[in-house]
Amino acid sequence: MALSYDQAVEKYEPTLGLEVHVELNTKSKMFCGCATEFGAEPNTQTCPICLGLPGALPVVNGRAIESTILIGLALNCQIAPFSRFARKNYFYPDMPKNFQTSQYDEPICINGYLDVEIDTDDGKMPFRVEIERVHMEEDTGKSLHVGGETGRIHGADYSLLDYNRAGIPLVEIVTKIIPGAKKYAPQVARAYVTELRDILRSLGVSDVKMEQGSMRCDVNLSLAPIGSGALGTRSETKNVNSLRSVERAVLGEVIRQSNRLDAGERIVQETRHFLEESGQTRPGRSKEQAEDYRYFPEPDLVPVVPDATWIETLRGQLPERPSARRKRLQAEWSVPDKEMDSLVNAELLDVVEETISLGAEPARARSWWLGEVSRLANEREVAPTSLITASSIAEIIVLIESGELTDKLARQVIEGVIAGEGSAKEVIEKRGLKVVSDDGALMKAIESAIAASPDTAERVRSGNIPAAGALIGAVMKATGGQADAAKVRELLLKHLGQG
């Protein structure tokens, strides 16, 4: 009988390790002045240095060092007073020098931590993930495999190399081993990567788009029988391309490994590949021999010795921590946890904050983004922020508050803006969506409705207030829904002697 996840975590204790690679958003590459633009024609952003031509030499991008130190500081790391680059030697066609200039035993940031929050059976719980190191390295070129069935490497006839990406600065963030997550290991992993991503975004050092590869996550996992105090053999899972996949990869590996262990089989220390469709992992190509990287200090580069003044200046540039910002906003807006979680999960905090800063009432700003805009966005399978801007929503909300738009009309305006008919004001103009609040015009419509249903009017006059609903409905219909329903009701009842 195969073990389920819940059964697995009753017997085994998972230990996690997470390695995240982040592509920095510097304008030029790590060791040369080539541009880092995404999507350029192949091999148009290369030079002797990033192509590894004979004789070429690297020169370090100062902004990359700054970004890395900022990341280290945001992760509560010690910034090493003395740090060196090292060569990691191995052969692969996407690596022009057949070594990667990276860092080995003298990384620039060490010993940090990141506090996250996870949902447990006992409510929200804080969890500290300890960080081993943050270091700098360079990205590889991109290969296209031609001739095989799936465009994958297996069965391909040949490969085509584009080195535009080679040499783009990468930062590697490695956690220490993470014990103690117990059955919440998948959530801890996801929470860590999420919080890390939000921090990196707030630092402005990377666009951290997992789907585009500017943030990549490798998940390490081992299991040991609960209470054994030992550490099991770990597997490393690559190709984890989304936050959800991080969670699923941990889950999948716990299930796989526990079932193997239960069956008395060994866990092989290997690199595995995450499969999106099934949530399972498959073994990578097994190598005949473990790779010996023969690290040695990079002789073409000199050590990085960041002085205390520089570090403190950078520390002063750190923005508010995302978790602190969330707490602050939640308090400011007096928002319950559930709604706050929704906002955070839907990644709407920034746009909501912006909408409020442009004059919209906070509760309305939240509900419009979480409500109508998210609904429309889900229909189209896009992000809410790609449909409409904060300034449009703010404009609309302000008009609602001043009575010039009803909620119903506002929805039509939003539709118009999304459809590209213009700004909110232009859509209102074009479609004639203004609330009819002119008493004279309303009275005309009211009198018509009364004239058309004299019996209903009579019932209202005799005290049957609910009957007014039909008349109000008729007036709304007559005005194309543009009357202010509350105003219509007020005037109608008054006219019929009931208000």
* Stretch 81-100 residues interacting with another protein (CB under 8 A): 84, 87, 89, 91-94, 96-99
- Token duo for residue 96: 């022009």
CB of 203: closest distance to another protein in angstroms?
A: 15
| Contact status: 284 vs another protein (CB under 8 A) | yes
Q: Which stretch binds another protein (CB under 8 A): 41-49, 240-248, 457-465, 488-496?
A: 41-49
CB of 162: closest distance to another protein in angstroms?
A: 5
Q: Which parts of 296-335 interact with another protein (CB under 8 A)?
A: 296-297, 299-306
| Contact status: 392 vs another protein (CB under 8 A) | no
- Token duo for residue 372: 């109508």
* x/- letters, 241..280, toward another protein (CB under 8 A): ------------------------------x-x-------
Q: Closest Cα partner for 85 from 63, 72, 61, 101?
A: 101
Q: How many CB atoms lie within 10 A of CB 142?
A: 15
| Contact status: 120 vs another protein (CB under 8 A) | no
- Report CA 320 to chain centroid distance, whole Å: 17
Q: Calculate ∠ Cα 278-284-285, nearest 5°.
A: 140
Q: Give me the sign of the Cα torsion angle 382, 387, 393, 396.
A: negative
- Token duo for residue 391: 């300034």
* x/- letters, 346..365, toward another protein (CB under 8 A): --------------------
Among 229, 287, 402, 440, binds another protein (CB under 8 A): 287
Q: Which stretch binds another protein (CB under 8 A): 31-39, 328-336, 471-479, 487-495?
A: 31-39
What does the DSSP assignment read for 117-181? Answer: EEEETTEEEEEEEEEEEEEEEE---EEEEESSSSSSSTT-SEEEEE-TTTT-EEEEEEEPPB---
Among 32, 191, 351, 394, binds another protein (CB under 8 A): 32
| Cα distances (Å, whole numbers) of residue 482 to 368, 410, 443, 451 | 20, 10, 14, 21
CB of 63: closest distance to another protein in angstroms?
A: 4
| Contact status: 27 vs another protein (CB under 8 A) | yes
Question: Rounded to an integer, what distance in angstroms lies between the CA atom of residue 269 and that of residue 286?
Answer: 10
Q: Which helix (H) or strand (E) holds 254?
A: helix 243-262
CB of 101: closest distance to another protein in angstroms?
A: 11
Select 238 or 461, whichever has its Cβ closest to another protein: 238
Q: Considering CB under 8 A, how many residues would be counted as binding another protein?
A: 73
- β-partners of residue 270 are none
Q: Closest Cα partner for 14 from 171, 184, 161?
A: 184
- Report whether 351 contacts 385 (CB < 8 A): yes
Select 2 or 57, whichever has its Cβ closest to another protein: 57
Select 90 or 113, whichever has its Cβ closest to another protein: 90
Among 11, 38, 151, 160, binds another protein (CB under 8 A): 160
Among 2, 59, 230, 486, binds another protein (CB under 8 A): 59
For the chain, how big is the Rg over CA atoms in Å?
30
Q: Which stretch binds another protein (CB under 8 A): 175-183, 294-302, 341-349, 445-453?
A: 294-302
Q: Which parts of 404-443 interact with another protein (CB under 8 A)?
A: none
| Cα distances (Å, whole numbers) of residue 33 to 40, 70, 141, 477 | 15, 22, 16, 65
| Contact status: 454 vs another protein (CB under 8 A) | no
| Contact status: 56 vs another protein (CB under 8 A) | yes
Q: Which residue has the tokens 């839907």?
A: 346
